[in-house]
Structure 1
Amino acid sequence: MMLARMIATLFGVGYIRPAPGTWGSFVSLPWAWLVHVLGGFPLLLIGVVAAFLKGWWATDQMTRGSEDHDPSEIVVDELVGQWIALLPLSYAAWANDISILAMWPGWIAAFLLFRLFDIWKPWLVGWADRRGDALGVMLDDVIAGVFAALGVLVLAGIAHGVIMT
């Protein structure tokens, strides 16, 4: 149970109040940068998959036998969703051999859009959240991360003149 708690709370970050989900997302940013620097887009993508699988297991362990299927201290799902939101930036930096930090406006957009979709829970995000199980805890943030990543792509397209408004 100790390993599950360490994974699910991101080594205790989930106990920071107020807004543990926002703290979980915020702490995920430098970790994403480090993973990207170590192995580029491929390693970040592998990290997303690994974190999802470990997070699903840890969430299941922590919520087993509890009526609360999504305790606020579980924030590994925020890491997964936030990393998904950053994937377009990681890919662009890796494919074009530029520093991922050069795209700092995209980092801000990814963070804000992910938090918006995670809190608002529109459409499929809300559907996943209503599952009421460990998979739903993880999936709502995966879907919020995908929505945020799409938003990052649209905003980058606008900023770079690829998409005309």
Structure 2
Amino acid sequence: MTAKTAPLPLLHPAVILSTWFWSGLSPKAPGTVGSLAALPFGILIFHYAGAPALVLSSLAIFCIGWWSTKIYVARTGREDPGEVVIDEVAGIWLALAAADLSLLMILLTFLLFRFLDIVKPWPIGWLDKKVKGAFGVMIDDYVAGLIAFVLLIIIKGVYYGNF
């Protein structure tokens, strides 16, 4: 637990970004709501700029999330606040870069990423427990996105007969 200072106003950039435009303030399943709120942006980036741009965007969001979460955690005094969902944004965008834009693949990306984020198999769970601070908040979801990325490539290869 870190020391709490003055609370952040809802319009503070760290709040807006960390909660992904307040989607993480949902009273139920903020990680799921944040992931859903991230999908339209990721789909638009993928559609107009391609998968490489989406990977770069996920890296940019990871860095922005690290910054905004560091401020949010310091000001709230909480290690891993549930309303911080920018980590889900970075992770699901990375996973989505391995999909295609069919409804089936988008749904599969969402379900696979959320499964990995919730269940936290190794190394995701290890990172969640061992890596602290804003980087710790971000890295476990990014690795969940990376694992989902690899699994989606395998699934696509099997489905389309490329393996």
Per the normalisation by structure 2, the TM-score is 0.87
Aligned residue type for 2:156: A
Give how far 1:42 is off. Answer: 3.1
The reply on whether 1:161 has 2:161 as its aligned counterpart is yes
Paired residue for 1:69?
Answer: 79
> Residue 67 of structure 1: CA displacement?
4.9
Deviation at 1:16, TM superposition (A): 1.0
- Classify the secondary structure of the residue corresponding to 2:162: coil
2:120, 2:108 → 1: CA distance? 17
Q: Which runs of 5+ in 1 are unaligned?
A: 90-99
Match status 1:78 vs 2:77? no
The residue aligned with 2:133 is 133
1:143 & 1:88 partners in 2: Cα distance? 14
Kindly indicate whether residue 121 of structure 2 is the aligned counterpart of residue 122 of structure 1: yes
Deviation at 1:37, TM superposition (A): 2.7
Once residues 116 and 53 of structure 2 are traced to their aligned partners in structure 1, the CA distance between those partners, rounded to angstroms, is 25
Q: Deviations over 1:63-87 (max 9, x none)?
A: 1165521101000000000001111
Alignment match of 2:53 (pick from 43, 48, 51): 43
Q: Is the 8 A contact 1:128 1:137 kept in 2?
A: no
1:19: Cα distance to partner? 0.3
Runs of 4+ in 1 over 6 A off after TM superposition: none
CA displacement at 1:162 relative to structure 2 = 2.7
Q: What is the distance in 1 between the residues matched to 2:35 and 2:75? A: 27
Instruction: For residue 135 of structure 1, report the CA deviation from its aligned partner.
Output: 0.5
Q: Sequence identity, in percent? A: 38
Counterpart residue number, 1:97:
none
Superposed CA RMSD in Å reads 1.5
Partner of 2:3: none
Structure 1 or 2: larger helix share?
Answer: 1
Question: TM-score if structure 1 supplies the norm length?
Answer: 0.86
CA distance in 2, matches of 1:58, 1:39: 25
Residue 62 of structure 1 and its aligned partner are, at CA, apart by 0.6
CA spacing shift, 1:66–1:15, aligned 2, 3 Å: closer
Superposed counterparts of 1:19-30, under 5 Å = 19-30=29-40
